[in-house]
Structures are given as structure tokens and as C-alpha cells.
Structure 1
């Protein structure tokens, strides 16, 4: 396929917001579609905090997927920021993918229909179909058919079994507007390297610590020095309490070393370069409680 960015009559491009409940598997789905590990993945809910654009080229189209935090109730200030990110993505997109794990009842979908007040067109992606039997899958599809006047298509997929990728991409392209491509077709994401490295460190915190600590921490990339074949990265993990700092550091620095090792491996796999990573831990009491402190870490309210 020749990449002719200027051919408006033959190309399509558009923004596709990927939404669903927390821990539905949005980031896993996007990494599968793009064929690279870009979006943060965690077994813990509400790990994704900000939107991230992931670009997939398919046939004559450029699909700009927008990964979003999970749809959930407004609780803490940070949760409100995350919900704001979802609404922005829905308001700015050409198409929505609603991710619905096959085991889920339709409550989350009904809630999404209420939130989609602008009636943006959407496709239901029935995911994790390998986790249910054929009878239960057919039953769930039948339940969604009751809403078939609401969605454009229903596409069953399984990331684990690599089922449904082409069908899903074909359906998306069918509903994108005619347009020249908006970005260089070699680009996989519009997110800068600083944000990607930050998310890889955050993912390593989620992987290595339990309970509330991952939710009450964040990461600030202090400095990146990009050299041929090597990136030197300095980053600070921000915690709410001194007790959390002690847990993050661990006995003899064991935990922070483990987090750093895991993050470095992720960063090297992504960049194809050697990574020299220096991690520090600081305490910023109540960092997630005020708009000012959240803004300092990169979460800007509108």
C-alpha cells in the first residue's frame, strides 16, 4: 500500500474514542490493535488517568484511537479529572468504541448510553469472548440486539485468541469520514516520549505494589537526555504520605530497585535503546486533593 497523504478522495481519517468501565481491557485492546506495547495495562481498575492517542493504519484509513480512563462515579478530585478526560474524548471523536466484556451485564452499556448525550455514533466491541461458553455468548449478543437501533455494529473479539481484529478494523473504517491522513503514517502515537516513559514507570508501580499505594502515587519525569543508543532518564515518584515512601523504597531499597528494573525493561523494549533510569521518591502531602497540585503534575482541569 502506498502512503499518499494528500489523496483526500481515496483516504479516510478520524478519531475513535475507546470507552468502557474501569478495567474492561481498553488499553490491552489498543496495544493488540496497534501491535505494540504503548498504553498502560494493569489488572487494577482505574490505572489509566489521561487520554492517549494511538494510531493504526488500515487499508486506506488512518484510525486515531483515543484511550480513556474507565467510566466511573465522580469521587476524588483525580477521579473527576479522569471522567473529564472521558467526556472530552467522546465530545471530540468521530466514532466511539464501547468495550463490553462478554461476562458483563448490560448495566454499564445503559449507563454509557445516558452519558453519550450527543448521540455520537458507536460500535459495541464484545470482548473477552474466550472467557464465556458459546451458549452464554449467544445469550449476551441477543441482549445487545435489543439495542441494535442505538449502535452501528456489534463485533465480538478476543485478544487472547487473536479473534476479530480485522473485522473490527473494517467496521471502524466503514464509518470514518473521508479525509487526508492527519499524521505521518509511520507514527504510532502522538504522545511524547516523556509521557510514555512516565506511564511505563506508573505501570511498574501498579505491578509491584498492592492496595491504595499505586492510586496515591504519580510520576514526574524530571529530565531526559537522549543520546545515540541510550536515554538517560531521571524521574520522581510522588507519594501522599511518608509511610508510603518507606514502602515504595523498601528494605535496603529493594522495592524501588524492582520498580526501576521493571520500568527500564519496558522502556528499552519500546525505544529499542539502552535506558539509564534514576528513580527518586518524594512526599507531597495531599497532591491529589487540589486542582493546583494536580496541575503541577500534569492533570489540568477545564
Structure 2
């Protein structure tokens, strides 16, 4: 008999064990291309994280779970599927508001089922629990992007009432040591005003990006991260910028741009500022991930690289 319940301190070790069961082989990474096979016990918490995220190690998972409960961040929920003493699977969701999405929503951050427990309806039960909780929290929709739309994850969500919401695109750009103008960067506020909306950085929703930039995981996983307030430049619409250099082994990162104006006010100076911020956190290349409505604007900038399409966001309306 499978029981769905909210994650607790007592069940956190079982969640980590469930996550570990999804990995076939463990590697010690020396670089992006150099690695050697090893065992889980021989890896540091940091190296375990590289195989899938903070829930790969109990100490980091505990830190992540505790920080996600702080009032500084948008509410986060994790539910587990318990079968006797075994955690068969889990689902995590952030609840918040996004200016690009009508109403309040729940963003499904992760959904994982233990390999031997798949195709038994457990994922559907976990999804149903999140939907019920989201509706009680006043959410109008569920939001997710699948690993592969044509693969098992994408087809699972489509079978459960999701549909394509918006396409996502990625543009890879080199960082620059000096932008085309001299930006003045201020410290960012701890809390994000609702009028600021994320327009670049859509590998996740605004609230997840905000959480990553404010969390204390720098020593475990991030080489560097920085969040800055509005740029000061003549004719430039205000924007919040964030930049992360992920783990020092792989040396890749992401940048974020929150905007208070209209999307057509996005300028090449904003892109230049993001490239500069990427340089400040130690990156040689940045990834700009954005939604389909920004594609014409980005293409008009005549940048050297061309955007390529990613898996789309899926949405399910749940308001009654």
C-alpha cells in the first residue's frame, strides 16, 4: 500500500536512497571529459551532487530542504510515496507567481520514481497530491518542462492533462571583460518585488532561480554566484541581474535577467551586461534561455550565434 505524505526530517534519508537508486554508475570527475568509475561511498558530498543534484547526498539535501523552508524564499513542497519502510518516489514543487503566467502557479521542480517501482501509477499519485495542494494554495495552474517531450517524462505529463505552453530557446554567448558601456552594479534586495519578472534564464521559473542565488550552497556546488540590482545607464530600462558559475569541475553557468518594463524594451546593453556579469563570476561562456516571445527581439540583435530550440514548457490549468 503506497502512502503519499509530505517530506519530513525522518524520511529525508529514504528520499536520498531513492535518488541514489536511479544512478547506475558513479564517477569521480576531474573535468568535463575526464572521469573514473568509483563507488558512492568513495565520493565527497560535492562529487555526489554532480550526479543529479542536492538530493544525492544527505547532508546537502538536509541543507537544501531547510533553506527552502525559510521565509526569504517562495514556498517549496516535497512529497514522498512511502511503501512500508521504502520511499518509492518523490515530487517537489515551488509555489509562486510569475508575471508571464496568469495567476498563481506550482512549478514542478522534480519528479522521480525508484526504477523497480515505475509504471505502477505512483507518479500519477504524487502528481495528484501536488495538484490538490496547489489548488488549496490558490494556484491556477501547474507548470513543468520535461526532460524530453517525446520521451517518457513528456508523454506522462501529456497523458495527465498538460499541454504545451511556450517554446524555450537557448543562446550561448562568450563573456566579456568590458561591456559596451560602463555599468554601475548595486547589491540586490533579499526579496524580489512582484513587478520584476524573469525574461531570460528560463531553465526554471523565477522563484527557483531566486532561491539558487540566495542559498548557501556556494561551497558545496557553486564556484561563484552574484545577484545585482538595476543597471544605471542612460536609456536603459531597469533590470535585476543574476549570474552563477556552477561547480568548478565543469565550469559552466547561467545568467538571469528580471525586468520591470515591457519585453520590447530589452536592449543589446542588457545582453552586454549579462555577458559582463558572467565574466565577473568566472565564466567564459553563458547560456541565455528565454521564451518564444523574445525570439524576434534576440534575433534583431544580430549576434554571432543563433538560438536553438529546447524542450517546451507544459502547463495544466487547475482552477475551478
TM-score of the alignment, normalized to the shorter chain, above 0.5:
no
Larger strand proportion, structure 1 or 2?
2
Higher helix share: 1
Q: TM-score if structure 1 supplies the norm length?
A: 0.29
